[in-house]
A and B are shown apart, each in its own frame.
Chain A
């Protein structure tokens, strides 16, 4: 499990590159993670990330796309536009969370 220095801070990652300690995240780091996968964050991206992080903190697991829509109010279609092709995984990565484990 690598510990790397990003923006002058120690960040814990799993082997794939997902953060393992959500509290090490901030918006500046999110911008860098997003750039790693070719995304540029807009205020709407940040709203999505904020909900995902708040929900994870409360539920103990990363929300699935269905939950992002049903509870967070973010339409599935929009999530596919914001985080193309693999929205659930990409938004987890940028939000500093683990991949969602739920099936639906």
Chain B
């Protein structure tokens, strides 16, 4: 009866061989709220597609995984042409917290998680978080200061090994 007809029904190819060994590495080097999200959103999307994903946090990107700062990243409108407002006005006291508040409110409306919850999602989905050795030394931070999902503090050479054969994005 239906067996032969069922065979003719298209079936999505989920485990496309092309994706089998795809690997994505993102270098997160900025710690402002607006620059933290691109890496987090793309990592989450990649993991949902079964792509091996690594995030490498370096320099100001450390604020994304530093327990002290990760929940309070700021969006600064000073010198940001995307605000379409005069820099002089954007530099007034209180503007950064106002802009941060507005941005967070918009993201909440879109149901986008805050940074700590986002990192949790990414590690739960099998994503790998790495911290940069030189940045850690410069900022006098150890593994204890970092989000618990960070696997290790690694050197530039270690990073080369991890990123071998990967598509790499610098943010």
Residues of A with Cβ closer than 8 Å to B? 2, 4-8, 11, 13, 15-18, 32, 36-37, 65-67, 69-70, 75-77, 80, 84-90, 93, 102-104
Tell whether, in the assembled complex, residue B8 and residue A104 are in contact, meaning their CB atoms are under 8 Å apart.
Answer: no
Stretch of B42-50, B54-62, B80-88, B136-144 lying at the A interface? B42-50
CB of B37, distance to nearest CB on chain A (Å): 9
Once bound together, how far apart are the Cα atoms of A8 and B125, in whole Å? 38
Given contacts A4-B5, A85-B15, contact A15 B124 (CB under 8 A): no
Once bound together, how far apart are the Cα atoms of A16 and B125, in whole Å? 25
Given contacts A66-B111, A66-B113, A104-B112, contact A86 B121 (CB under 8 A): no
Tell whether, in the assembled complex, residue B49 and residue A86 are in contact, meaning their CB atoms are under 8 Å apart.
Answer: yes
Within 8 Å by CB of B48, from A13, A16, A86, lies A86
Within 8 Å by CB of A6, from B5, B110, B121, B126, lies B5
Residues of B with Cβ closer than 8 Å to A? 1-2, 5-6, 8-12, 14-15, 41, 44-45, 48-50, 110-113, 118, 121, 124-126
Given contacts A85-B14, A104-B41, contact A6 B48 (CB under 8 A): no
Once bound together, how far apart are the Cα atoms of A87 and B126, in whole Å? 12
Within 8 Å by CB of A2, from B10, B12, B126, lies B10
Once bound together, how far apart are the Cα atoms of A70 and B111, in whole Å? 10
Given contacts A65-B125, A77-B124, A86-B48, contact A4 B9 (CB under 8 A): yes
CB of A60, distance to nearest CB on chain B (Å): 14
From A11, A70, A85, A88, name the one whose CB has the most chain B CB atoms within 10 angstroms: A85
Tell whether, in the assembled complex, residue A32 and residue B14 are in contact, meaning their CB atoms are under 8 Å apart.
Answer: no
Tell whether, in the assembled complex, residue A90 and residue B14 are in contact, meaning their CB atoms are under 8 Å apart.
Answer: yes
Once bound together, how far apart are the Cα atoms of A78 and B161, in whole Å? 30
Within 8 Å by CB of B126, from A67, A80, A88, A103, lies A80
Within 8 Å by CB of B12, from A17, A65, A66, lies A17
Chain B residues whose CB sits within 8 angstroms of the CB of A77 once the complex forms: 124-125
Listed by A's residue number, 9 A-B pairs whose Cβ atoms lie within 8 Å are: A4-B5, A4-B8, A6-B9, A15-B10, A16-B10, A37-B14, A69-B124, A76-B124, A104-B111
Within 8 Å by CB of A7, from B2, B11, B121, lies B2
CB of A62, distance to nearest CB on chain B (Å): 12
Tell whether, in the assembled complex, residue A103 and residue B41 are in contact, meaning their CB atoms are under 8 Å apart.
Answer: yes
Chain A residues whose CB sits within 8 angstroms of the CB of B14 once the complex forms: 37, 85-86, 89-90, 93
